[in-house]
Structure 1
Amino acid sequence: MLTISVPQVPVNIVRGTHEQLIAFLILNAWPSHFGLPVLLLVVVFSKKVQRHITFVNLCLAFIIIGISSSLLVYAGRIEGPEPPRFVCLLQASLLYGMPGISSMAALMLVLHMFLVIRGHYHGEEYRDRDHVLRLWVMSVSPYIVFFVCVIVTAVIGASNPGRVSRNRRFFYCSLDFLPFTNTLTIVSAIILFATFVFGVWTVVILCKQWKIQKDNTATSGSLDFSLPIRIVAFGFYIIIALSLSLLSIKSPQSPVPDLVIASAATVVMLIFGTQRDILQVICFWKWEKRSPKRVEPLDSATSTVDLKSEFMPCSQNPYFVA
């Protein structure tokens, strides 16, 4: 197995403070250990809340990232001597899969929203059961990218243990191997660019749809813009956050990129956990029963779809309303 000559591993390239370390850990821990699991339980078990598999994947991605970022807490090695080699390599491997799984999960969510919005704009119903292969690709691609990055990092790190260190990145264990980090940066940048393209394209279609609805207030089954705007807003946020994270690989002195990307899971909670149907389930005692609104016969970008391509009735979707 190829072994690369190991230079002295830099110490504390990221100039963080103890307070910033605690903030980093809290930002990763509370959504992954509490907030997102609660949100997923609501989505999975509530009959009133329907979400697409791409949304579920997004939540799972940030749960994985948060747990991975907390490994040194479990080991009691957030400060002091270097963690055990296996723990440090495990965390580095998992976190180097972070850009791939988070960017792919965001891309698939934005892409699905784009397909639904475009179909609605052209007067067609986008149905996953008509695109089973696409549904499978959208469902598993974040995990494929993640595991490829994890395995490559683990192989390189196991062959060159001197390149794996916690002190180098301050907040977490990392791998000092420029060819791999450059490749990771390029791949993630391509995914982020695709997310940006579909996000802008979706905004253009939404603007056209809004103009149509504004000019024709009598239109039946008009589109509610709340959810698409939330998804597009998150898509742009994750582009900025991951771009900062990728830039930090090249110039890692500032702790800001790591703190920004650590806040992504909290942003997911704020954007998607505050939707009306989710709040109705969580705070059930505060909501009175209301008669359901008449809805457009359109599969929502957040309706639940399993891999057999079965649809929930459109009447259960509260986001496309007349």
Structure 2
Amino acid sequence: MHLSNFPREFHVDSTQGHQTLIAFIVLHTVAGLVLLPILCATFAFARVKRHPILPVMSSCLVPVSFLGTLLFYADRTLYDTPLSMGLLVHSPVCLTQAALLYHPVPPMMAVAIAVLLLHLWNTVRDATTSVEAEKPKPWKLTSLLLAPFVAFVVFALASTLMMANDFANGRAVIKLRLYCKFEHNGIAIVRAVFTGLVLVVTACCAGRISMRLFHLSPGMENAAARAALFRVTILFAYVVLGIVLCVVSVFSFSPIADLYLATIPMVVFLLFASPKDVLKAWCFWK
């Protein structure tokens, strides 16, 4: 592949581009690699009772942030010429990021939110029926916990195989912006359809939960369910808006979409770290 095939929409030697890159890396590092692991550790080791689905789904964003900052470990700011950028694009770090970040992450995030809402639906249903709730079977819980990671692995394998095939045929397109991305129309279409269908089903599930809670008399359990639905709905709307920005950026590139998506780990942290029992666990000196 010739170096001229790599677009230069993002210039590392420009002041604005350098600041954008720093913001992208800081957002992923602070929220995804520091705050979210602290939150997950709080759920795991502190006296904060949470269903296993919540910490596992929150931990999905930790590898995403690690992948998003891979070029930081390769010292991205040193590559400011066409030749050096071409060498970076062919480096193992860039190719790994291209295969594992752009196509696999959106399906994983969509499935993770769907799993959260499905768990919330089961919780609301059990709390509002006179029948005693059955303990979920281990295989069902395991399937829910693994679903986002399965989606990630499937799309990562597809992206890797397609990228290897395109490189072998000399038609691979790797774009270097805030991160390395592998462009392939086939995978992009499948990813968009899959993610869209999952989000539509998730929206319907959120609507059903909202309608059920709306017709309930207020109570302690119902109030907790409403608070959980509020948090998950905000996260759902935030992710959907991010996906819309990504679609728009395909036709008119702007780093806004990538920076917006980089804020998702921080949003997840703020939403699920705000309950009083979590804050109380952190204020151990009181």
Same fold (TM over 0.5): yes
1:163 aligns with 2:172: yes
Q: List alignment gaps of at least 5 residues for structure 1.
A: 214-218, 287-322
CA distance change for structure 1 residues 229 and 76 in 2, over 3 Å: closer, same or farther?
Answer: same
TM-score, normalised with respect to structure 2: 0.85
Greater share of helix: 2
Select between 82-91 and 104-113 the one with higher mean Cα deviation: 82-91
Pick the aligned partner of 2:201 from 183, 189, 194.
194
Secondary structure of 1:278's counterpart equals helix
1:135 counterpart residue number: 141
2:64 counterpart residue number: 65
Q: How does 1:1-322 map to 2 (within 5 A)?
A: 9-13=5-9, 17-46=17-46, 48-78=47-77, 79-80=79-80, 81-82=84-85, 83=88, 84-95=90-101, 96-127=103-134, 129-161=135-167, 163-167=172-176, 170-209=177-216, 212-213=217-218, 223-224=223-224, 225-245=226-246, 247-248=247-248, 250-286=250-286
The letter for the 1-side match of 2:140 is R
The letter for the 1-side match of 2:5 is V
The letter for the 1-side match of 2:73 is Y
CA distance change for structure 1 residues 220 and 44 in 2, over 3 Å: closer, same or farther?
Answer: closer
- How many pairs align? 270
- For the Cα contact (< 8 Å) 2:110–2:195, is it kept in 1? yes
Select between 13-22 and 31-40 the one with higher mean Cα deviation: 13-22
TM-score, normalised with respect to structure 1: 0.76
- For the Cα contact (< 8 Å) 2:6–2:173, is it kept in 1? no
Secondary structure of 1:285's counterpart equals coil
Secondary structure of 1:284's counterpart equals coil
Select between 271-280 and 228-237 the one with higher mean Cα deviation: 228-237
**Equivalent pairs: percent with the same residue?**
23
CA distance in 1, matches of 2:161, 2:41: 35
- For the Cα contact (< 8 Å) 2:32–2:266, is it kept in 1? no
Secondary structure of 1:11's counterpart equals coil
Q: List alignment gaps of at least 5 residues for structure 2.
A: none
CA distance change for structure 1 residues 53 and 93 in 2, over 3 Å: closer, same or farther?
Answer: farther
CA distance in 2, matches of 1:145, 1:69: 18
Q: Please state how far the C-alpha of 1:7 moved relative to its aligned partner.
A: 11
CA distance in 2, matches of 1:220, 1:110: 20
- For the Cα contact (< 8 Å) 1:14–1:254, is it kept in 2? no
